Structure 1
């Protein structure tokens, strides 16, 4: 090894050993190359893998977030459609109920009208039967009176008595 002394300042008395410096520099460079090859290379590879892994995790997380947001939007839309369908079903049921109510009322009214007409016909028939029966009674009573009048010639008092008796008979016959 070659050593040379270099004076750095006038009166400083410091001398530099360039041979030692050069040797240390070469050793440092060799050490740096070895560190770079065996320590720094694998560490940088691990760091690169770690960086790639984190980047892929972030990308996957963003994709899952986007997918979750999309699914949430779809769920909201489906819920909105379900509410709309439910509203439609309720409205349809209300309309059907109203129509059935109106139909029932119409049927009830027509049935009531039919019963009323039937009752009126029955009343008219009963009335006609009563009038016919009354006419028959009046006719038979008239014949009875006429036969009694013919059998016996009446004076005014007997005629009045006969009329009163007839009226009593008619009243009791009812």
Structure 2
């Protein structure tokens, strides 16, 4: 095998130029180093920047979604608070209406009672005036009748005093 093995490399070397292979491998290695430095490095940098940009956009979108969710919750809270305030205002207005209604009813009842008392007082006053007028008329008629019966005239003052005394005694006996 060593004869064949040594012969194979010699035969191959005869067909291939070992110097060309070394130079080609050397150029290929230099080309790979240059590609890595000038093409692959910047390409990977661009890819890293793109990945970072996408990650930043995803993070910004997540932050925006979180802020939107928070704003939505705040809006819901404000809406609930506004509904509660509106309900409280309506309830307060209803209570004030009830209070005013009660105050008006109380004032109207007080006015009716005052008017009744005033009317009662006025009726009593008018009754006293009417009784006094009837007494006066009765006294006048009694004086006239007594003077005709007696045929003489008694002083009107004496007669009036006598009749008033009689009326008072008649009122007491009732």
Alignment TM-score > 0.5, same fold: yes
- Unmatched tracts of structure 1, length 5 or more: 7-14, 153-174
Task: Return the alpha-carbon distance in structure 1 between the equivalents of residues 60 and 26 of structure 2.
Answer: 48
Spell out, residue by residue over 1:139-169, the C-alpha distance to the aligned partner (whole angstroms, 9 max, x if none). Answer: 11011012112229xxxxxxxxxxxxxxxxx
* Aligned residue number for residue 17 of structure 1: 16
TM-score (norm 1): 0.73
> Which residue of the partner structure matches residue 143 of structure 2?
143
Structure 2 equivalent of residue 84 of structure 1: 84
Greater mean alpha carbon deviation, residues 114-123 or residues 19-28: 19-28
| CA distance in 1 between partners of 2:124 and 2:17 (Å) | 150
The range that moved more, 118-127 or 53-62, is 53-62
Question: Separation in 1 of the partners of 2:148 and 2:11?
Answer: 191
Mapped to 2, the partners of 1:31 and 1:17 lie a distance apart of 22
Point out the structure with the larger helix share. Answer: 2
The equivalent residue for 1:170 is none
In the TM superposition, 1:1-174 aligns within 5 A as 5-6=11-12, 17=16, 19=18, 23-151=23-151
Q: TM-score, normalised by structure 2?
A: 0.73
- CA deviation after TM superposition for structure 1 residue 123, in Å: 0.9
Counterparts in 2 of 1:4 and 1:31: CA distance versus 1, 3 Å: farther
Partners of 2:148 and 2:15 in 1: how far apart? 186
